[in-house]
A and B are shown apart, each in its own frame.
Chain A
């Protein structure tokens, strides 16, 4: 059974993991993620989840207090579409063997070509760019522009449609000339695209992509079934030793990214949070201590196991586990290729997704604000910071306890088996004494 599944899954996993487009999306989002975490911290300080916090500081510093902090967070949150386009084009260009900075800039310019630059204020028209075109709603457009512009650029480079400089010309100069024709081709293409949309009923590429792609995809992707499938697959792949989230993230990341940004925007504007399912939801309310919710496993080990080997592992792995690092237990127990432990390893994240999802949908627990926390933030603290409410921590405690109960019988089974092995090899001479040699 396992062999058969592997035969079917391996090529799929390898394809998804190695696909250059998906890999570039992943790499591109990784470029902007640290910026989002840092600016999230600013947003969080301005709106720290303690009653009266903002009011207190506003009294001291005046009404500009919140503005100071939102100036920083806006610098990223209001521009995620255009930033994603730049970063993804950079990564895609690099993975395609092009000069990555040229690839990034050509995509940035293409994005701006398609962006409306005239805003009507009353009867007057002024030159300005509305932030809505550059932010989260423009992410899918940004991705598409990045991929297309780099592909066109690459086509021209591959055909050697470049202006060759004589030897002795400094490389920076010759590279700049190399980029001339490929860039021209990309710009010509988006010039025509802009004209095409301006005479269509959609008027802008932004409207078109948002209506036919981003909005429907969000509808399907930001849902309970989608989050359940995500977490099932992420754990299931680990069983075969494959890093599941790297596979699933390449498919889900754009959707979760958009959902996270939507919530952040609403949080900053103090309006209703639109989505339950987003990146912080997945990171903070579905697994504890790393993939498979292995912190629960370690707590069981710590509390009840008798086998020397497992106990030792528990002692060593619990501290990193609290901070979400589970490499020692994935390989040390091991979980990889272990048919017993894989059962709770899959059940826990899926069940947590279900419980957290429903609890937030019916309003029992506060939704995540979209604030991205460093992934090493321990549970209970992370639940509070991510939702701004104690209900987030309470949910985490309940789920962690539930996960402990689920892991218990399986870990006990493993413990018994290891204990029997250890008994067979007389307990006292289990250790190999290297002082003998």
Chain B
């Protein structure tokens, strides 16, 4: 399974909040916190073929361009699944993750997200019906590795075109 992951500048290891103006970019490896997901994917003969990153402020100012380029590039690289997040309880990043997920959904690219309910209830209410959003803890909360396990399980279901309704009921919003 070929996975593309989308992160903000903090999770991609490109600095803190002060780097929110980081323009979109990407590398053909697992960057920053996606290292943890890469390790889980390896157990299923899968790998991250690309990390797309974008600063949250840059995204806000250039939504249309980022959305178009991220979707097109994932299609071009032949991703089986796109993960937007995990975005913890960072609200700006969670919003970016879910808006991008919506665009992938519209382009029929399998997509899955993971956000925490803290600070994000508005987004969950808005997107829970149409998107697959895995429950995860807030930054520094307990249950992170379990949530990442669930996220990878979701990826496998999506990539193999299996039914996700039970999964959604058990592990998603």
Residues of B within 8 A of A242 (CB): 140-142, 144
Return chain B residues, CB-CB under 8 Å to A3. Answer: 145
User: B97 CB to closest chain A CB, in angstroms?
Assistant: 15
B14–A312 touching, CB < 8 Å:
yes
B143 close to A (CB within 8 Å): yes
Residues of A within 8 A of B76 (CB): 436-437
- Which residues between 324 and 348 of chain A lie within 8 Å of chain B, taking CB atoms? 325, 327-328, 331-334, 336-338
What chain A residues lie within 8 Å of B143 (beta carbons)? 10, 14
The reply to whether the CB of A66 lies closer than 8 angstroms to some CB of chain B is no
Asked whether any CB of chain A lies closer than 8 Å to the CB of B24, the reply is yes
Q: Is the CB of B15 within 8 A of A317?
A: yes
A432 CB–B CB distance under 8 Å: yes
B148: A residues at CB distance < 8 A: 337
Chain B contacts for A313, CB-based, 8 A:
13-14, 32
Chain A residues, CB < 8 A from B11: 331-332
Cβ of A378 within 8 Å of any chain B Cβ, yes or no, is no
A 1-16 to B, binary, CB cutoff 8 A, 1 in contact else 0: 0110010001001100
Which of B18, B29, B141, B144 makes the CB contact (< 8 A) with A309? B29
Total number of A residues with any Cβ neighbor in B under 8 Å: 38
With the chains together, A338 CA to B141 CA distance in Å? 16
B78 is an interface residue with CB less than 8 A from chain A: no
Contact, CB under 8 Å: B27 / A333? no
Contact of A316 among B14, B35, B68, B145 (CB under 8 A): B14
With A430-B29, A434-B26 as given contacts, are A333 and B13 in contact (CB-CB < 8 Å)? yes
Interface string of B120-151 (1 = CB under 8 A from A): 00000000000000000101111111101000
Report yes or no: B139 in contact with A243, Cβ–Cβ below 8 A.
yes
Q: Which residue of B lies closest to A337 (CB)?
A: B36
In contact, B13 and A312 (Cβ under 8 angstroms): yes
Contact among A2, A328, A422, A429 for B10, CB-based, below 8 A: A328
Knowing A320-B16, A332-B14, A336-B36 are in contact, say whether A432-B137 is a contact too (CB < 8 A).
Answer: no
CB distance from A44 to the nearest CB of B (A): 29
Closest chain B CB from A173 CB (angstroms): 34
Complex alpha-carbon distance, A429 and B28, angstroms: 8
- Flag whether A17 is at the interface (Cβ < 8 A): yes
Interface membership of A246, Cβ < 8 A:
yes
| Nearest CB in chain B to that of A10: its residue | B142
Contact A240 B15 (CB under 8 A): no
Contact of A13 among B12, B13, B142 (CB under 8 A): B142
Which residues A300-329 have CB closer than 8 A to chain B?
Answer: 309, 312-313, 316-317, 320, 325, 327-328
The answer to whether A328 touches B15 (Cβ under 8 A) is yes
Query: Which residues of B lie under 8 Å from residue A2 when comparing CB positions?
Result: 145
Interface string of B41-81 (1 = CB under 8 A from A): 00000000010100000000000000011001100110000
- Give the A-B pair count, Cβ closer than 8 A: 117
Do most interface residues of chain A lie in helix, strand or loop, or is the interface mixed?
helix
A431 within 8 A of B: yes
A319 CB, nearest partner CB in chain B, Å: 9
Chain A residue contacts of B19, Cβ below 8 A: 316
Contact B69 A327 (CB under 8 A): no
| CA gap between A327 and B69 in the complex, in Å | 28
Closest CB in chain A relative to B72 CB, distance in Å: 4
B interface footprint on A414-430 (CB within 8 Å = 1, 0 otherwise): 00000001100100011
User: With contacts A13-B142, A241-B145, A425-B28 known, is A334 near B33, CB below 8 A?
Assistant: yes
The answer to whether A240 and B142 touch across the interface, beta carbons within 8 angstroms, is: yes
Contact residue among B10, B24, B32, B142 (Cβ-Cβ distance under 8 Å from A17) = B142
Bound CA span A194–B68, Å? 72
- Least CB distance from B17 to A in Å reads 8
Contacts of B16 in A (CB 8 A): 316-317, 320, 325, 327-328
Of all chain B residues, the one with the shortest Cβ separation from A314 is B13
Give the residues in chain A near B68, CB-CB below 8 Å. 437
On chain B, the residues within 8 Å of A432 by CB distance are 25-28, 50, 52, 73, 77
Kindly supply a per-residue 1/0 record for chain A positions 27-46, scoring 1 wherever the CB is within 8 Å of any chain B CB and 0 otherwise.
00000000000000000000
- Partner of A327 from the list B10, B24, B25, B28 (CB cut-off 8 Å) is B10
Give the complex CA separation of A317 and B35 in angstroms.
Answer: 18
Q: Are B13 and A430 in contact (CB under 8 A)?
A: no
Q: Contacts A240-B144, A241-B137: A431 and B32 contacting too (C-beta < 8 A)?
A: no
In contact, A434 and B137 (Cβ under 8 angstroms) = no
State how many angstroms separate the Cβ of A337 from the closest Cβ of chain B: 5
Q: Is B155 an interface residue (CB 8 A)?
A: no
Q: For the complex, what is the distance from the CA of A105 to the CA of B31, rounded to whole Å?
A: 52
B29 touching A422 by the CB < 8 A rule?
Answer: yes
29 A-B interface contacts by CB (under 8 A):
A6-B146, A10-B142, A240-B144, A241-B140, A243-B139, A246-B140, A313-B13, A316-B13, A316-B19, A320-B16, A320-B18, A327-B16, A328-B14, A331-B10, A331-B13, A331-B32, A332-B12, A332-B13, A332-B32, A333-B32, A338-B35, A422-B29, A425-B28, A425-B29, A432-B25, A432-B26, A432-B50, A434-B69, A437-B68
Nearest 9 A/B pairs, CB to CB: A243-B140, A332-B13, A432-B26, A241-B144, A316-B15, A437-B72, A328-B16, A334-B33, A313-B13
A interface with B by C-beta (< 8 Å): 2-3, 6, 10, 13-14, 17, 240-243, 246, 309, 312-313, 316-317, 320, 325, 327-328, 331-334, 336-338, 421-422, 425, 429-432, 434, 436-437
